[in-house]
Structure 1
Amino acid sequence: MAAPDNNRSASDRVLLAIALRLLSVVLFAFMNVGIKLAEARGASLPEIMFWRQFGATLLVGAIVASGPGMRSLSTQRFGAHVARAVLGLTAMALTFGTLTMLPLAEATTLGFSMPIFATVLGALILHEPTGWRRWAAVFAGFVGVMIVAQPGGGGFPLIGVVTGLSAAAGTAFVSILLRTIGRTEAPLTTVFWFSFLSLVPLGAAYPFAFRAHPPVVWAILLGLGVIGGAAQIAMTRSLTLGPVSTVVPMDYTALLWATLLGWLVFDRLPAPATWAGAPVIVGSGLCIVWREHVRRREETRQAVAQGIA
């Protein structure tokens, strides 16, 4: 009689993982809106990044202090967290910069190229086996990127396209690093150290970027940190409850939110090229996630077979 309960428990964990991932997508979408609104009302990029990380640090610190305690944040991999902070801050600056230059839907769509870069980097850096199907998905994904970017077409600022793709590549680097950090570090520990260590350079730069703002802008800046921190926790937690192949595809619902919020808040709908290229990029990413799932399942089967033998 225990098997049905175990199956139900596993199913509940996967459903919770999906719910958390969808929640993180919604929160990140509203955070992106806040970034564009804050920038349009005079906030600089260093200010936006500082308050994003400051609020996240306070949120995670409060959760840890009220739960497992601050001692749970101790780590033996401080150097890895420093490297993650450097890469993460770089990717964040590029992502936020892209959001200030491109419409929400286009910036979000370019971000979907991350699995493409992750596949290439995984093959080059980690020497992961990559079959022809995944390489075909990578090629298709880059075709989709070219459709959206419209090189030479003048549809969007070239610098915005470059920063968007660079942000996706930087996020891919971070994802590879997190694979190793996640083997020994708890999700809250990883999120806390990223946010806390980021405040060192951001805090040093903040006095030079500080500007006086009306109350509504300060409210947006404070909200960015809380919303962004909650989104990051939900996203990281989802990966501890469900398989990557199940939860990561939920990220593509971000395009729905970007389209809806871009229309409601900024009166801007995606360009025709985005409607054409986005499905290609999304399809490429889903194919890569599925092939990764198949590869890991085969590796697990072979390991079990060798253990039995």
Structure 2
Amino acid sequence: MERPQRPLYALVLRLGAAFVFGTMFMVIKYAGEAGISVPEIMFWRQAACLPVIALWLGLTGHFHEIRTNRIGNHAGRAMVGMTNMSLIFTGTVLLPLAESTTLSFASPLFAVLLAALFLKDKVGPWRWSAVLLGFAGVVIVAQPGGEPVSSLGVGLMLTGAFLIAIINFQIRDLARTESSACIVFWFSLFGTLLMAPLMPFFMTDYTPFEWFLVLTMGVTGAIGQMLLTASLRHGAVASVIVMDYSQLIWATIYGWLVWDRFPNATLFLGAPLIIAAGAIIAFREQRLAKRRPDEPSALSD
């Protein structure tokens, strides 16, 4: 049965998720630069989630929520999610934190393209203009001909943004019937099983501080994933995704505090274009969702 929508609550949950994920990506970048490999980061990001979820379910008496009749859907979400994780985590290590975060905001642009190509959604001038505006911002942030940034990192982040658009639709579909804990549990379990065979080839001995880093990744990942998934249970993708942009604030703060690096001027030129594009798309899709089916199709611009 479809759960009732709570738009304001969904926005607060997504805002919390943005802060927690901003912290997680700061830790991931720090760990990667300290010599912990991306496969290790991916494994611990998932494996350390499982005891956090189990503890929460045990304390709340909701262990029954992990039962599912949609195991294939969970497996598909995990495959796409782990592929995306490898791209985003590597891009985060290669790029400055604020730049990598900004490029991940290209996801709504790809969501419009996916909707037009595969869902046969009629995309009018408003959303096409937003897509062009957003990609102009991406070009500025990528700084072609300006201060060099890793072209590999830029490519990985943009591919990851494309997959995020797919993942948002997957989670939205799962959230119609599954609880937040159920979705996060199966994603973490499948992700751990996928990465475990690689650990003998990549894992090294950790110092106490490195153990702190990998465990922090898992805990923040579990909390952030629960908040994100819950936001999609209570609100539409187009509405809550706007709150993701607040993650740039935390990325900028962490970049300054941890790496003593303030973003380049190109970020302040490109980021507003990407954010404005995403906001236009979200606003327009929210308006279209409220239209009655019998209204003129011209309103689907």
Q: Structure 1-normalised TM-score?
A: 0.89
Greater helix content: 1
| Cα shift readout 1:75-123 (whole Å, capped 9, x = no counterpart) | 1111111111010001111111111000110000000000001110122
Gaps of 5+ in 1: 1-9, 303-309
Which has the larger Rg? Answer: 1
Aligned amino acid, residue 289 of structure 2 = R
Partner of 1:4: none
CA drift at 1:242: 4.0
CA contact (8 A) 2:43 2:196 kept: yes
Partner of 2:11: 18
CA contact (8 A) 1:20 1:235 kept: yes
Partner of 1:166: 159
Match of 1:216 among 209, 216, 220: 209
Matches within 5 A, 1:113-128: 113-128=106-121
Partner of 2:299: none
Alpha-carbon distance between aligned partners in 2 of 1:36 and 1:170, rounded to the nearest angstrom: 20
Alpha-carbon distance between aligned partners in 2 of 1:199 and 1:282, rounded to the nearest angstrom: 33
CA contact (8 A) 1:95 1:163 kept: yes
Partner of 1:307: none
Alpha-carbon distance between aligned partners in 2 of 1:21 and 1:176, rounded to the nearest angstrom: 16
Alpha-carbon distance between aligned partners in 2 of 1:195 and 1:273, rounded to the nearest angstrom: 37
Gaps of 5+ in 2: 296-301
Partner of 1:98: 91
CA drift at 1:14: 4.5
Alpha-carbon distance between aligned partners in 2 of 1:234 and 1:166, rounded to the nearest angstrom: 24
Matches within 5 A, 1:180-191: 180-191=173-184
CA drift at 1:18: 2.9
Alpha-carbon distance between aligned partners in 2 of 1:281 and 1:42, rounded to the nearest angstrom: 32
Match of 1:39 among 19, 32, 45: 32
Matched position secondary structure for 2:233: helix
Asked whether 1:51 is paired with 2:44, we answer: yes
State the Cα RMSD in Å.
1.9
Alpha-carbon distance between aligned partners in 2 of 1:27 and 1:81, rounded to the nearest angstrom: 23
Q: Percent identity?
A: 39
Alpha-carbon distance between aligned partners in 1 of 2:226 and 2:275, rounded to the nearest angstrom: 24
Partner of 1:306: none
Alpha-carbon distance between aligned partners in 2 of 1:299 and 1:92, rounded to the nearest angstrom: 38
Q: Structure 2-normalised TM-score?
A: 0.91
Matched position secondary structure for 2:48: helix
CA contact (8 A) 1:112 1:168 kept: yes
